Amino acid sequence: MERWGRLSVGLLVVVSVSCSGGGATVTPDSGVDAPGVAETSVAPDVPDSPDVVPDVPLAPDVWDVGAEAEADSECPPGKGCFLDPCDSNDDCLSGWCVGQMGEDVCTQQCQTECPQGWSCEQVPGTAPDVVWICVSQHANLCLPCGAAADCKGAAGVDDACLSYGEEGSFCGGQCSDDEDCPWGFNCTQATTVDGAKLLQCVAVAGVCPCTKKAVELGLATPCRRESEFGTCVGKRVCTAEGLSDCSAPVATEESCNDFDDDCDGQVDEDTCDDGNECTDDSCLGAGGCQHVPLNAIECKDGDPCTAADHCEEGVCVGDAVQCDDANPCTQDLCTPTGGCDYVPQFGPCDDSDPCTAGDLCKEGKCGGTPVSCDCKTDKDCAALEDGDLCNGTLICDTTKLPYLCAVDPGTVVACPAAPEGPAATCLAPACNPASGACSLVPANEGKPCSDGNACTLGDSCALGTCTGGSDANCNDGNPCTDDSCDVAAGCVHQDNTATCADNDVCTLGDACSLGVCKPGKGMLPCDDGNPCTDDSCDPVAGCIHKNNSAACDDGNACTGADVCKGGSCVSSTLTQCDDQNPCTKDTCSPASGCLFTMADAPCDDGNICTQGDHCQLGQCIGSSTLVCNDGNSCTDDSCQPKVGCTFINNTLACDDANACTTGDKCSKGWCGGSPLSCDDSNPCTDDSCAPASGCLHTPNQKGCDDGDLCTLGDFCDKGSCQSGTTPLACNDGNACTDDSCGPKTGCSYKPNTLPCNDGSVCTDKDVCTDGACKPGPSVSCDDGKVCTDDSCDPVTGCKHPNNTAPCPDQDACTINEVCKDGTCTKASLDCNDSNACTTDGCNPATGCTHVNVADDTSCAANKWCKAGVCVDKPQQPVTIDTLNFNGMTGWPLKFDGTPYCKPTTDQEQMDALCKLAGYTKAQSWTTASKSINNCYCWGSCSNFQWQSNCCSGWQTQIMVTSVTCI
């Protein structure tokens, strides 16, 4: 059976041909560094083919598979026989190295049939021949893969990438039953990495071993590791020892370290929350967590005794709750339960009643003993008014004790001054005590004033009126103003338009304007009609006529240079009548001037280009033209009237009779051309030119360029360029590029995605990206110690020097946590609030605690605790019998009916008694009328003491019989 095919030069790199057994992918050896699963390659080492290979029948010398199979069976293994391993076509007897189950093996030529699992396919041979060879239908079977594209198969079949579970994923092969699969494989319903269900050849062992080719290409299969925190994806790479362990890390809890710890595709998400609403938490990646203190943000500090809680430098603080009930007789407190507590107090206060004294708090209320006041309200002061309505009204002054009646400054009558006007200076305000009404009375009698009339002088006051004096003089002596006087403005000088004299005889029609005499527009006529005098006018003398020496005209056309002299026009020269025309006779007439009459005589017309010149009708005319011809085609010949014949170079086309020039044209009077280009664009000929015959092209043996960038040492032979035998070396020394060569493009370095080494021990799993080795994830150098600075040196690896950084231990009961010599040092928090009414402690979670002790616990002398505050103990009132106290027989409340110099009030006297008894002050007392001798008296205004007989002689005084002290 004959087979036919069509190939093209573009298909020599990747050629797909179809037949009953499938298709084949054919590529020549290229030396490309393959990054992944390679396509099955079968092609001889041949030079470039022509653009189109004609259809040809099956070559007569093609092997018959039946006959040659026996020959192959006699081929010693390892000698390039069918299925022997190979690296290139040169390793095989057939000249063809192809892919089979992930390895490169030698194949055999065929006519129609091949062994099971192989198909007979047409491939390009040495042009224009074609060859039929056996191509494997399972070229990539069991090679590691990550996607279907990695398993692009031979024979036109794209094999699927199958999932082998935890072992990874490997290329399958199409099948309909087990007979379609090689030994060790079953045709089963398999799952692809895309989730599809297909009949594929699957390894019975459940795993695919690494072939030599897979190791050389560094092929890999994706893999994954799962943990409670997520699933991480990695790969298993084929090595000489087999598939490597899965490179995927174990997913851990996400932390702030610029790394995707849980492998969810996000980095450092949901980390760094310190539970403090007064810090802005963020992750700086490798820099760790950052907690920036916030300010002026609303927060809750959990303290019921604060309000308006807000953030200050990262701490939630609040303003103390104000529990002020505006009652001076209670102690205002805030308890930890959040409610205000108002505890009754005992002590002095102010009941806001000006007519009480000794105000004291009792049961939370303020009250005092009534005292005598002069007034309480303004009405109480009416009886003290003096009847003068001008000096103000009395009001009750409550600014100090005792209250007194005082004049209200706002009621004192302030009479307004006289209204502005001429009489204001002559009047003064006055108040009537009986009515309180204001009036104006005469004042400043005879003194200067202003009556408001600017036309009077010497005004003065008389009986409350300003009287005017003499009239003002308003004459300004200017004839151009009308003078008058205005009562308000005074003298007025109004401009007029009357006639006037400006003292200049040369002007006529002078008149007033804007208060000034302006010259008239008319001028005195001074022209005497003589051109030999200069006429002018003097403001005082009038017209003046001064002789000049100006040019003039004496009326004779035959004289010239006429000039004024002594007031007359005289001439000094005669007119010259020469018209410079040899063909006229020149004369002069006094009346009309020069006359020019035509003449008949020889002459010269001034034109070198004419001959035989003579006069005709007053003009000089030539009779013939001068001939100018130099016989040179590169000059333009002409005649110029002033210079004669001229020969000007031109740039016209011409012929220089030289075959080695082109574009001949005139230049500088000579004919010449540009050198003729004999370049035939053929590097294999030496180009020259002969003036008689033209261009010559002699073959040479120089080096040349055959247009194929992949060959070196190209050379010329018989006028054409022959390809060199040395291939171009396309190795850039970069492991991250696949190197190849294209005839039109030359070397190309295609970036791959192979594993690589970036030279730093601080990164792991480096991979090629965009033609460069991209560092993989950073190696973790975290030693878990806050007191070391963890870093990585690209050469030596992890370093952990000690630091002096803060090392918060999350224990609120310690402070000043700082690293020293690699260890965290700290001090205990001082929680002593110096309050005897609280029990101080510390909670590691929240810090200092201050628990109130039981109320009524003693905290100081005469003090006890109330809601955690040390307050004065309320003293129990004690009543003292002053008639039997310290030998007294009484206590005078007042002496002879009036208070002594000191103290000034009953309360102060009673307080003094209670202090003698060891108490603070008097709460109340009782009195009676008694006659006594011995008592406490004021020996002086500064000495209060017990004295005998100090009250003798006083009869029936008001004495204190008992006093209640606190």
User: 391: burial class by Cβ within 10 Å (0-12, 13-18, 19+)?
Assistant: middle
- For the chain, the straight-line distance linking the first and the last C-alpha, in angstroms and rounded, comes to 139
Which residues contact residue 302 at a Cβ distance below 8 angstroms, ignoring those fewer than 6 apart?
none
Buried b (16+ CB within 10 A) or exposed e, 490-521: eeeeeeeeeebeeebebbeebbbeeeebbbee
Structure tokens at 38: 């390679």
Structure tokens at 783: 């030693």
Cα dist. 339→94, 306, 333, 334 in Å? Answer: 104, 11, 9, 6
Question: What backbone torsions phi and psi does residue 23 show, to the nearest 5 degrees?
Answer: -130, 170
pLDDT of residue 456 exceeding 50: yes
pLDDT of residue 238 exceeding 90: yes
Please give the single-letter amino acid code of residue 254: E
Q: What is the pLDDT of residue 474?
A: 85
pLDDT of residue 207 exceeding 50: yes
Which residues contact residue 69 at a Cβ distance below 8 angstroms, ignoring those fewer than 6 apart?
none
Distance (Å, whole) CA 957 – CA 954:
7
Which candidate, 822, 791, 824, places its Cα nearest to that of 806? 824
Which residues contact residue 206 at a Cβ distance below 8 angstroms, ignoring those fewer than 6 apart?
164, 165, 167
Which candidate, 572, 526, 533, 571, places its Cα nearest to that of 549? 533
Provide the mean pLDDT of the chain. 79
Contact 136, 99 (CB under 8 A): yes
From the CB of residue 592, how many other CB atoms can be counted at a distance below 10 Å?
Answer: 9
Q: What is the pLDDT of residue 439?
A: 87
Distance (Å, whole) CA 198 – CA 236:
24
Contact 425, 465 (CB under 8 A): no
Assign 593 a pLDDT band (cuts: 50, 70, 90). confident
Q: What is the pLDDT of residue 49?
A: 32
Which residues contact residue 88 at a Cβ distance below 8 angstroms, ignoring those fewer than 6 apart?
29, 45, 97
Mean pLDDT of 723-745: 85
In this predicted model, which residue has the larger pLDDT, 605 or 413?
413
From the CB of residue 344, how many other CB atoms can be counted at a distance below 10 Å?
Answer: 14
Distance (Å, whole) CA 29 – CA 37:
16
Contact 315, 278 (CB under 8 A): yes
Distance (Å, whole) CA 343 – CA 639:
139
pLDDT of residue 708 exceeding 60: yes
pLDDT of residue 74 exceeding 80: no
pTM: 0.31
Structure tokens at 82: 């069918």
Q: What is the pLDDT of residue 67?
A: 33
Please give the single-letter amino acid code of residue 214: A
Collapsing DSSP to helix, strand or coil, 311 comes out as strand
Structure tokens at 425: 């200076």
pLDDT of residue 889 exceeding 70: no
Least confident of 248-252, 370-374, 819-823, 924-928: 370-374
pLDDT of residue 105 exceeding 70: yes
861-885 tens-digit pLDDT:
777 788 888 877 666 666 666 655 5
% of the chain surpassing 90 pLDDT: 10
Q: What is the pLDDT of residue 361?
A: 80
Question: What backbone torsions phi and psi does residue 101 show, to the nearest 5 degrees?
Answer: 50, 45
From the CB of residue 26, how many other CB atoms can be counted at a distance below 10 Å?
Answer: 28
- 350-354 contacts: CB < 8 A, separation 24 or more? 354/398, 354/401, 354/402, 354/403
Q: What is the pLDDT of residue 776?
A: 87
Residue with tokens 């004959």: 2
Least confident of 2-6, 243-247, 489-493: 2-6
Please give the single-letter amino acid code of residue 253: E
301-353 tens-digit pLDDT:
877 788 888 999 889 998 888 888 888 888 788 876 767 887 787 777 887 77
CA 679: distance to chain centroid? 62
In this predicted model, which residue has the larger pLDDT, 150 or 5?
150
Distance (Å, whole) CA 306 – CA 13:
84
Least confident of 230-234, 307-311, 505-509: 505-509
Q: What is the pLDDT of residue 19?
A: 31
Distance (Å, whole) CA 846 – CA 589:
139
Structure tokens at 595: 């006359």
Q: What is the pLDDT of residue 880?
A: 64
